[in-house]
Every structure is written in C-alpha cells, then in structure tokens.
Structure 1
C-alpha cells in the first residue's frame, strides 16, 4: 500500500504545482492575455455594442450610447485580421488616408471665415482630432513627386521621382512619370499581413494595391470625389466594386484604405470644365470657386463618416486627410522674356527646353520649367561669385519670389537632378511661354507658400481630441504616422517622423489628455473653427450638413 499512498501524494503535488503555475502565468505582466486592440464586447441583453477601453471612456463623457439604431446600423464588424506586427501596439483598427490633390490650407481658412459656408464635416473631424496649421510639401511642388513622398515618407532624393529634369549626360530633358524606388505605406501594410485597398490613389497601383487581389485591392472608378467616395463606402460595406475581372467583394473591411481625388486641383488650375466645373476670369471669382468646391467635397465626406458610424467602426478608425500641394494664382504677361534677357546680359547663352528637347552646341545654361519655378543647369564651370551674381540680378526683379540654392535643395531632400538653382516668381507673375491676358489660371510648381502650404488633419482612434498643432510638419510625416497608428513598421525608406504630438499613448483615452489648444481660445487666420459638439458621441449626416 506504500507505493499507492506515495503515488497518491505525488499526484496531488503535481496538481497543486500545476495550479500554482497557471495562476502565476495568468497574472504575469510579461505574458498578458490577448490584447484588446480597439475591440468591443457585445451585450446579449440589449443586442447593442458596448465599447471597451478608450472608446468607453470617451462615450461615457459625451452621453449614453444611442441604442435607437440597434440592429443594422449598430452591428459591429468582427475583429479585423491581425498582422504579425500588431503586437507593437496598434492605436487604431483601421486607417483611412484621404488625399485631396491641390488642397491649399488657405482654402480651409477662406471657407471658415466670416460669411463663408464652413466645412462642418472637416470641423467635426477636427473636434475629434488634430488640425495642423503649418504643413509644407517639398521640391518640386508637383503632383507625382509629392504624392510619392506622402506614401513613402521620403523626399525625391530617396524615391527618385522629380517630375521634369535635364539629363546632362544624355543632353535631353526627361520626365519621371510614376517612378518610385522606395517602399510605399501600402507595401508595408501588405508585408505586415494586413489587408488594404486604394480608390484611385495611383501611387499605390501595383505598389501594395492590385487590381486582381481582393485583399489588397486597387480600383480606379474615375469621376469626381463624390463618385470615388461612393466606391470607398462600398468597400467598407463589403459591397461589390468594379475591377478588370468584374465585380469583387473584399474579404474584410480593409485595415488601410486610401482615397484620392483631384477636384480641387482641377478647379484651381481653372483650365477646363471637367467634373462639372466652370471657368472664371478674375481672382475674386477664382477664390469663390475654390471655396464652393471645398464646401461641396466636405458635404460628400459626410457619407464616409456616416458609413463608419453605421458599421460601428467610427471609434476604431483613424482618418488622415492631406494634400500634395496648394495652388498659386497666375495671370498677366509672362516674365520669362525678361528672365532670359537678364541671363543673356550676364553672359549666358540660355535655352528653355521642353521634355524630349536637347540643348544646342554652345548653350551654356539650360532652363527647365513647368510655368512657375525655373530649374538651372549650368553646362560650364562657374565660380561662386558668378553663381551669386545670377541670384542677385534676378532677386532685384519685381517678379522675383524666391530661390533655393544647390545646397538648400539638397538639404530639403530634392533630387540631385532637379538642378543647381531653383527660382520662382511672386504670384501672380509666371514664367509660362505665353501670357495670360484674359482670365486667371492656377499653377503649383513653386516654392511660394501658396503652393507649399497644405491642409492636414488627423482624427479618430489613437489621436488626441480637439488639438491644433501650429509647429512645422511635413507631408513625409504621413506614412510613418499611419504605420504607428496601425502598429506596423514604417516604409523601409521613410525619413519622415511619427507625429507623436498628435497621438495618444497606447491604451490612453483621448479624454485623459489636456487639449493642446482649444478651438474657442483661438482666433484669426489659421484658427480652428468652432466645431459643433454632437450628442452621445454619435451623429448622422443630417446633424452636420445643412441641405
């Protein structure tokens, strides 16, 4: 019987030790239970979503949860797929990156000035996020290079897209198209194992989003913002969208969704009637046109906010909205003839070359331009004093706006092929080959602040509430910040920074932090318009849109 008694004691000891081990494992800080990254618990009694964590704290301060929409609109989407890098601490389950091409920060200020229509949806998002008042792009201030800079988090010196340049070795002017030697944010998302989709954000076409991959889908519906945001809503609702192979339904709500629209860019150029736009013929009419266009896009942005709320993921989604460049209004005679004459007087034989053109023998200074900034390429050695003499002569001109030296261009991340000197005019002056004697146009290939100062807003999950950041930020900060929100590594070549001043610490509710600047305490240009507080932390389109 001794062996049976010993066996019984041994078994009891094993059970006791196993119980202790399990207890220690469950309480050990080094081995937490599966983290709740923005998930929610479902109340069986009421059949409505009961938010947990940061979401519960925020709604608890604004009022009771509105359960009048229990059922379809309050149905929570199941937990999204997790990439292997989620363990770093995602701040949001979903991130939507919206790019309104040509969205100058001035447009936002104009629309929200006295007598303006306002931008209630943008302001609603700002009340639940951070507005950046001093966001700048890089060089050149042109769509393809700057769109590429946003999605890679790097300047042209890194990704290689500089739009138009003179290749001295081959003696020809070239354009870069969609060239990109750097990893995109969508490729980083794809590598993490997360899903993504792009609605006409062309810099992601084949670069993390693909026409024939439902889990990383690229679609190009065309048309204005209204049409594109409608397709984005279909993706969120997991409704069929058109692809080259026919209708496709994404397998889950994309963790990262990019949407691109160029309505503001088209309106600002004022060169055609696409998207139902009309031509205007003076600055005041142009300004009014831009305000109206922004107000219209703001209204249609409401449908996206509504969709997020209907799906029950609004509180778990971060929204990033920015632009690649602004717009400089131009009119009147061209200053190009005087520029060429001045350089000739300094002893240079100049040629302004277009794409595909070559310099003649004897040309010692090649100029390249898209109408505003002029890129200088010296074909013979010059001294520093000769270089400075060019700048001095042109800076005395009434049309002179500013310049970037070779050293300054390199420091700003410009591609080495952008030139050895960059000069731009003061609006409304321009360097177009023909004058604009009737009407007004917009151009943005300039170092002027009208072209470089762009809108940027972060809102939603993981973002501080109602703050205004007046310090300088750059568009290359977008991709690293999106990466931080999703809890993944940034794009491999990114040199931008995470906008930590706009983000919450992991697990901290927005209500726990003091607002950096309250909207009601600000006034003057750049102020955050007073945003309407919404009952219960929820709203519908009719709450912030006056039809």
Structure 2
C-alpha cells in the first residue's frame, strides 16, 4: 500500500519533442537527462486535436479528448449558427475534482485548468496558488513551499495549506511564449535557428531550477514519497509568412470558389450570412472548415481530395478521422498547412504556433519518475497525453476522472454541496469561492463605476413611474396622488376627441418616417465612404468637421437655420434668385417645415451618428477583402458583398431603436422653429405635452398624452425587434 504517495504533476506548456532532442544532444538539460535514467521516458508521446493549449490542458486534466470535454477552442457551432471561441470550458470531470471527491487533498500552482474548478484561491484545504506575473522560478518556489508546509500565496494572502496535498499540479508557459517568437520573454528571432536557440536558452534555465527544486525536496525528507510527471500539452510548428504563403492561402480560398462554394472567414462571435456555404476559422495556422448546412459524404470527400492535392497542404482530416483524438463535432475538415506555410492573410516573417497536424506540434515530451515508477525505462510504444490521468489515479489507488459516470463536471458549488450537504446557508469560505462573487470582487472597480448609472435610472426613470397614476386622476399638487380625484379614461378620451389629435399623430409620425428614410441611411453611407479614405490627416479633417455641428446648442442651430433660409438675405434664397427663382419663405410655409427640420438634422448629426458604423467597419476582417480581390471583385462588389453584410447587425439594431422612438421628437428644436404660419406641419405630440403640462400646468392631461405616446413607442419597438429577428437574425433580445 502506498497511501502516503504524493503526485507532483508539472506541465511545461509547448515542450515539443524536438526541443528536448536538440537540448539533450548539446548537454543543455543535465537534470532531465539524469531524471530520465531514474524513471520512464516516453519517446513516442502524442497530443490530440486540436493541438491548442486550452483543449489539450483540459484533455490532460480529465483524461479525455474533446469528444468528452467539449473544448476545441475555435469552431463553427452548427446548432448555434455562429463561430464560438472557447476558453477553459470542460464538460468532463477533472483530476482535482475526482481526487478530492475520493478524499485526496489537492492543490494547484498556476495551473489555470484547475482554477475555480477544483482548487480555489484562499481555500486552505484545496488551494489555487497564484502570483501575478510570476516567472518559472517563483512558481517552483511556491510549489516547494506547499510541499514544505509553509505559507503560500493564495487569494491575495499568505496562507498555510491544511495538511500535505497528495496531488499538486503546476503550470509553466515560458517555452510556449518564447516558442511563438512574440518578443515577450526573449528578443524576436530573425530566423528559425535563432528562435529555437531562444527556446533552448530558457529550457536550460528551467532545467537548472528543476535540479535545485529536487535537491530542496530531498532535504525535506519526503522525496521518496513523491511521484513526478513532467509532461506537456503540445509542441510547436514553425512558419514563415511571405508572399508565397499569402499566395498559397489565396489559392486555397479560390479553390473553394471554383467548386461553387460561397465561404466566409469568421472570428469568434460572428455569424455567417444566409447564403454562405462554408465557414472558415483559424486559431493561427490551420483552417477549420465547416459546412453551414448538412453536406453529403461525397461533397466532403471531394473537397478533402482537392485540398489534399495542394502542394502547400500538409494534411486534411475529416470528422471521422478527427474523432479518435478529438471531437467529431469539431469541424467537417481540418486543413493543416505544410511547414513553413500559414493559412492567414498576414503574420510575422519568423514565427511558430501549434494548431497544426504536423509532427512538430503533435509529438511531445513526457517523463515520469519517483515512487512507483520503473527506472531507466524508455517506452517506444505510441501513447497519448490523456493516458497520464489514469496513471496518476492508479498510483494514488483511486478511480480516474469520470469513472463514476459523471459526464458533466460539477461546478464548485455543486461539488461542495455533495461533500458537505445542502440546505444550509453558504459559509464565508463558500461565498469567497463562488464564481459570481469572485467575478464581482475581481471587477469591483467596474461595478463601482456602474453604481451612479444604476442610481440615476432608478431615481429618475423607475421611481417616477409611480406617478403614472396621475394620468388617471385630476391631479392637484396640493392634494397629492391619492387624494386627487380618480377620473379613469377621461383625459385619454379628451385627447382622442381633440381636433388636433389626427394632425399631431400624422405630423409626429411623418417627421420620424422622413428621418428614417432620409436621415438614417446618410451616416451609414458617410461611414463607408470615410472608411475608404487612406490619407490619415484628410480623414481626420473630414471627421472633425462633421462632428462639430452635433455639439452646437439647439438655439444656435435654429438661429443658423433662420439665417440661411431668410427670404431676404439668406444664402439659400440668394442662390435661388441667382438661378432665376423666387425666394421661398421656408419657415413660414407649412409644406417646407418637415424638409427643413429633417435636412438640418442630417447636417447636424451625420458625423456623430457615423461613429458607431465606423466602429463596426473597423471590426471587419481584412482577410475577407483580400479573398474578394483574389476572386476579382470590384470595389462596389466588395462593399455590397462584404462591407454592408458585416455591419448589417449594427444597422438593424440602430434601426430597431429608431423605430422604437417613432413617436418621439426633440421638443426644443420643433418649439424654436414653430410659428403660427407653419403650425399645421409643426404641431407634434412632444411639444403639445410640453405646452399642456409645463406652461399650462395641466399635469394629468399631459401625463395621459405622454403615456399614450410611450405605449405606442413600446409596441413599435417590440414589433420592429421581432420582424428584425425573423428577417435578419439581429435583435435587441
């Protein structure tokens, strides 16, 4: 019996097998080489699909690939009809949950897979140890402190762990970070040889720290109880972006078009257009291809054959082939480039990543040593990185994750309830571990900033709703709400029977309809035009010039309108007379009120209203335009086939909001432009409410009219939202 055995699981992210081969050949990893002689080395270890950090870390932690964990990183979800970019999702039970359920004390040092998923910050019984920006030396130090029974950093405090964990995991991502050649932990390499040298430099340092760590454990007198696993999630495949790789990528996309397919390259959260046949997405190197509608086996096979013949394609796998080491729901085809190609529109000249089917990404370093492990053994048989979970369980003499039939990993609260029972109020410790509570604490500054906004709406929007009842009373401020006489529908009947009722309804609606027809599209068109301007300073000048009118006061705006439309000296009438026409009294003729009101609104708000559309345009993937250019699309075709469809969700949301305000108009501008000569066109409901309620003090009658107005707006909002959801898929809810 080895009831006191302790498993120390160390994960070095991105530890490719060829890294170790190079380092060992040059004597750069003497500690690991020595440990290999004391344990079992796996020379033929492989990871699964996709070979990406989150999917593979969850796979190792649960002893199951994506078919059970449900994590494949980025993919097109056919049920949701959108591209989903997953983070740490895991549907399966993980190691720490399974072990703790069976009475094994656990701990984690920076192993994010177990953060709030079995180990918790501030929990002395199963702590998640974390130091912001901690390097590999600090993480090894925290791991040593756990095993030495010293205080560790957890939950922003120093805390001593209760007892000695029998399973402790540690995660270090230095090799992965440097391997990507992103300049974060090492200078950016200018060629592949230099990139590998940078990785080996850090590997040598980590090997040295590992040796010191082992000597420290031996000094504690517990080394003989320890079993070590030094494993990884994936390797690293080099690439070199160039005109040749871009051309190859364009050729691949063109091949889809030649077969008659319409495709889109989308990112997480994006939804394909209704006529799209194929959705493509990528985590950086390979392409994940999914049909938006069910495809036949013949279609998929034909496409797989065509793509496999491309000289720059390394391997293409279909869903059936992927299922063995991944999930059949991942995609229809997984297209991996042949090194050094990369299936992206742009990238660094020298780089590396691992969402590949190439051996450099899939063959990984794996080593075990310590208590219960045979010494000096090299295992050449092919093994998978998920196999280590069951090995750890066997060494601890417990069942591996999922052995009880739990397909769904429990949340922290569910796990705790099963262990301590339900029906009791949560303790302070449970609340501190609750995900929602931790999210609030972690983002407390954002919640503090939100408080004034919430208070504003509560005090000035929701609390005043109590006063809606005055629309059904003959309200007298001296008597208050309850003592004022209840008159029921009297005010509504008075409004509906008024000779001005029809005129005000028509004027209010028509002005808003004119705004939707003429004013609403202008900022969209303007944003598209400005987006095509390439001269930075000229573009800034245009934007600043068109923004300024929005910040002018309404009084100034109306004064300008009055000046430029003056029948005697106004600029507009001067031009009319110059071309032989008769002056027009724009503000004195009812027929001209609506055009002047809407036209001035276009000038005042065009630039400001275009901001949201410029933001939407900035989010369009340039790859879409590049692919369209390869297919020979003109600029207008790109606008109608790419630009407009991509910003259409934003357009529809803004249109819904506009329709939802069909009975609203700014009181100030209409009131300032209104006179006895144009009253038949300028008589609108908002101004009538203002005149009745504020000037005449008839609060109940004004409240009734405004309540009617808001009910119409609300019904229009509901209708517009429902129609938009059915026609375009975009809606407010």
- Shared fold (TM-score greater than 0.5)? yes
Aligned to 1:189: 99
Q: Using CA pairs under 8 Å that are at least 6 residues apart, name the structure with larger relative contact order, 1 or 2.
A: 1
Aligned to 1:282: 191
Q: Tell me the alpha carbon deviations over residues 386-444 of structure 1, each in whole angstroms, 9 at most, x when there is no partner.
A: 322212222222211012112111233x23431111110011111122143x3x11110
Aligned to 2:367: 457
Aligned to 1:512: none
* 1:420 maps to 2:329: no
Cα distance, 1:245–1:273 mapped onto 2, change above 3 Å:
closer
Alpha-carbon offset, residue 307 of structure 1: 2.1
* 1:109 maps to 2:18: no
Q: Tell me the alpha carbon deviations over residues 143-198 of structure 1, each in whole angstroms, 9 at most, x when there is no partner.
A: 01100000100111101111111123332111221111111111122112221210
Contact 1:153/1:494 (CA < 8 Å) preserved in 2? no
Alpha-carbon offset, residue 284 of structure 1: 1.0
Q: Tell me the alpha carbon deviations over residues 32-88 of structure 1, each in whole angstroms, 9 at most, x when there is no partner.
A: xxx5x3xxxxxxxxxxxxxxxxxxxxxxxxxxxxxxxxxxxxxxxxxxxxxxxx5xx
Aligned to 1:58: none
Which consecutive residues of structure 1, in runs of 5 or more, have no partner in the other structure? 1-34, 38-85, 87-91, 496-547
More strand by share: 1
Contact 1:321/1:457 (CA < 8 Å) preserved in 2? yes
* 1:125 maps to 2:35: yes
Cα distance, 1:494–1:125 mapped onto 2, change above 3 Å:
farther
Aligned to 2:234: 325
CA distance in 2, matches of 1:367, 1:118: 41
CA distance in 2, matches of 1:215, 1:330: 45
Contact 1:94/1:316 (CA < 8 Å) preserved in 2? yes
Aligned to 1:227: 138
Cα distance, 1:493–1:410 mapped onto 2, change above 3 Å:
farther
CA distance in 1, matches of 2:284, 2:157: 41
Range with bigger deviation, 418-427 or 237-246: 237-246
Aligned to 1:148: 58
Q: CA RMSD in A?
A: 1.7
Alpha-carbon offset, residue 245 of structure 1: 5.3
* 1:316 maps to 2:316: no
Contact 1:98/1:260 (CA < 8 Å) preserved in 2? yes
Alpha-carbon offset, residue 230 of structure 1: 1.1
CA distance in 2, matches of 1:320, 1:347: 50
Partner SS for 2:378:
strand
CA distance in 2, matches of 1:189, 1:248: 22
Cα distance, 1:493–1:140 mapped onto 2, change above 3 Å:
farther
Q: Among 112, 123, 146, which residue is 1:213 paired with? A: 123
Partner SS for 1:259:
strand
Alpha-carbon offset, residue 493 of structure 1: 5.4
Alpha-carbon offset, residue 377 of structure 1: 1.0
Which consecutive residues of structure 2, in runs of 5 or more, have no partner in the other structure? 406-733
CA distance in 1, matches of 2:294, 2:69: 29
| Aligned residue pairs, count | 400
Contact 2:290/2:332 (CA < 8 Å) preserved in 1? yes
Partner SS for 1:241:
strand
Alpha-carbon offset, residue 216 of structure 1: 0.9
Partner SS for 1:387:
helix
Q: Among 220, 224, 246, which residue is 2:157 paired with? A: 246
More helix by share: 2
CA distance in 1, matches of 2:347, 2:104: 51
Alpha-carbon offset, residue 381 of structure 1: 4.4
| Higher CA-based Rg | 2
Contact 1:96/1:318 (CA < 8 Å) preserved in 2? yes
Aligned to 1:59: none
Q: Among 50, 58, 82, which residue is 1:172 paired with? A: 82
* 1:444 maps to 2:357: no
Q: Among 138, 142, 147, which residue is 2:48 paired with? A: 138
Cα distance, 1:296–1:494 mapped onto 2, change above 3 Å:
farther
Contact 1:154/1:494 (CA < 8 Å) preserved in 2? no
TM-score (norm 1): 0.71
Question: Equivalences for 1:262-281 in 2 at 5 Å?
Answer: 262-274=173-185, 277-281=186-190
Contact 2:122/2:157 (CA < 8 Å) preserved in 1? no
Q: Tell me the alpha carbon deviations over residues 435-459 of structure 1, each in whole angstroms, 9 at most, x when there is no partner.
A: 43x3x11110111111111110010
